[in-house]
Amino acid sequence: MTSTESTTSTSDGPVQLKSAEPIPDASADNEIADLVSLKGTSLTDFIDADTLQDIQDSLTAVAQVSACIRDAGGKALTQPTVSHRFQTRSAAIAAAHRDGGVGNQPFSAPIMVAGVRLGSISIEPMRHQRVDAARVEQLAAKFSIDASQARELLQLCVSETELQRSAGIQFLQLLASAISRLCEQEMQLRRRIVELSTLFHISTLTAEARGLAQTLDRVTQSVAQAMGAKACSLRLLDDQRDELVIKSVYNLSDGYLKKGPIIVDKSGVDREALAGKVVQVVDMTTDPRIAYPDDARREGIASVLCTSLSYHGHPIGVIRVYTDTPKTFTSFEVRLLQSIANQAAAAIENARLQEEAIEKERLHRQVQIAAEVQRRMIPPSAPIIKGFDIAALYVPCFELGGDFYDFIEFGPQALGIAVADIVGKGLPASILMASARASIRAYASDIYDLDEVISRVNKAIVADTQRGEFVTLWYGTLEFKSRRLTYSVAGHDPALLLRDGTIRELGSGGMVLGVDPQEKYGKHILDIRRGDCILIYTDGLTDAMNFDGESFGKQRLRDAYIRYADLPAEQICRQLVWETRRFVGLNSRVDDTTLVVIKAVE
């Protein structure tokens, strides 16, 4: 059996029923539209001529009558039975008609499918004929008719009385109904094939699309062509504005699209569709649910079928199909559009996710590039200075951080040391970090007037920041020969000087940078002794928090600092970070950590 035929077995052998060819692409759209409306459909589109001939011959042999099956226009679809008995009785029938016998008038029953007449079956009753019981059994089995009822009706059919002729008509209608049921089943099968083929076709097109825009365009074009409609539009829901925004359209003019916004509260059709209904409008120019009836008249569209696009039960938009003449859409068209809408919604969401993934990957790559640039701003190693052991460690919380440290060399006699913490995290903080670093390097030309340096940096940061953005800074200059440290603090945690086993905080300072351009900053001077150790850090070290919500705190930092003070500067940095990690455990870090350690070894 080929793909275009299906076989239903009966007692008399297989009955061949024609099936629709699958619709591989949009070229078969007219066939779909014709199937939906039964336009141009003939009885032989559902049951082939051989099967119809077999039905007629069986009826003739059983009822001993002349029978003929005709199409909707009255054209014979079967050939007359040519048996000797048939020829003999044909002559008698003709004579009876010439005599004007009213008892020999032909009986006819229509063959209806979905309210459309596809043909009819008629017989001319004969007198005093005996019903062939065996053939009645075969005929009844073939069309699933009760055999006893068929025998009784056939016996009455070949009799003379009005009651008997009425019973004969009932039998004829019973047989016509059986043929109609076969056609209905075939039509449903064909419609299902069309629906699945259309969905497969649209699925293939959307799968091949690249990006959301192309996916939407292919959906609207495929829907219009598949349903034989004039046009199609697809709008997605903008929840913030309560508006359906046009995203794709097929065969509608720019003038119509610019008619005005579709506000959900003001569009009855779309409001009902988003609520889960399939909405039909036969005449868009008179239906009160249409927001722009005059524009529809000028566009030449008459009827519309509208349903929602829903994904996981959540409406994301609507799809509309338009016709150029008034039309009542069939249940098949409604079901087809619903199926397409469900598939389109999934395709749209997949396309959205794909675009989001592409955008996320693009942003991630940009973040990686920015992180690489930022890492280049952090000195790869501390400078080597005779008489001092200097080390630094930077541990970002994310790829992009807001902390930084910097070493600014002033020739062979001095070194500038900066440790800063930018409020916030991620890309904004990293941009502000680069700006602050550039400002410090630009203004740190004077190794003595640190108060003036910090004031200028503050004004520059105020100009580059918005409300809520600020920077904390600890900045100092170390003179090698005099072993003098001059420093200034702007809202930063004080550095910790460890001398003779005792910790001392190195000065307080002014307000954070980036708030008040008129803020004044002071400076402090420290003469460094041999054995002194200075720790400069950001609050990511002390604010590290465990699962109980307890922070590492300044006291634990001081205890660990004293415990590891005899180690080289680099190991002090690493041990302090290790202490915080052990305290935090598996809890995630929420802030960057920066440390600079300066030890006077001579």
Sequence ranges of the domains in the chain = 5-194, 209-354, 379-600
For the domain covering 209-354, report its CATH number. 3.30.450.40
Q: With contact defined as beta carbons under 8 Å apart, do 64 and 85 qualify?
A: yes
Predicted pLDDT at 572? 95
| Size (the chain), residues | 602
Predicted pLDDT at 102? 40
- CA 217, CA 212: separation in Å to the nearest integer? 9
User: What is the token pair recorded at 397?
Assistant: 């919380």
Predicted pLDDT at 530? 93
User: What is the token pair recorded at 247?
Assistant: 């995203």
Predicted pLDDT at 40? 67
Long-range Cβ pairs for the range 571-577 (8 Å, 24+): 572/391, 572/533, 572/535, 572/597, 572/599, 573/391, 573/392, 573/393, 573/597, 574/393, 576/535, 576/537, 576/541, 577/393, 577/395, 577/541
- End-to-end alpha carbon distance in the chain: 101
Crossing angle of the two packed helices 49-63 and 147-157, in degrees rounded to 10:
70
Strands (E), 139-210: none
Nearest to 498 by CA among 576, 422, 382: 576
DSSP assignment of 374-408, as one string?
Answer: HHHHS-SSPPPBTTEEEEEEEE-SSSS-SEEEEEE
Domains 5-194 and 379-600 alike in fold: no
Residue 588 DSSP label: P
- CA 396, CA 419: separation in Å to the nearest integer? 14
Distance of CA 347 to the CA centre of its chain: 5
- CA 271, CA 75: separation in Å to the nearest integer? 50
With a cut of 50, which residues of the chain have pLDDT below it?
A: 1-29, 31-36, 82-87, 89-90, 92-103, 128, 160-164, 167
Predicted pLDDT at 16? 32
Q: With contact defined as beta carbons under 8 Å apart, do 489 and 510 qualify?
A: yes
Predicted pLDDT at 87? 47
Is CATH 3.40.525 correct for 5-194? no
Nearest to 505 by CA among 519, 489, 522: 489
CATH H-level superfamily of 379-600: PPM-type phosphatase domain (3.60.40.10)
Question: Positive or negative, the Cα torsion across 478, 481, 483, 487?
Answer: negative
Predicted pLDDT at 203? 65
Predicted pLDDT at 129? 55
Predicted pLDDT at 90? 44
- CA 243, CA 262: separation in Å to the nearest integer? 6
Predicted pLDDT at 94? 45
Predicted pLDDT at 351? 75
CA angle, 379 then 384 then 388, to 5°:
115
Residue 145 DSSP label: -
Predicted pLDDT at 387? 92
User: What is the token pair recorded at 374?
Assistant: 């930022």
Q: Which residues pair with 407 in a beta bridge?
A: 417
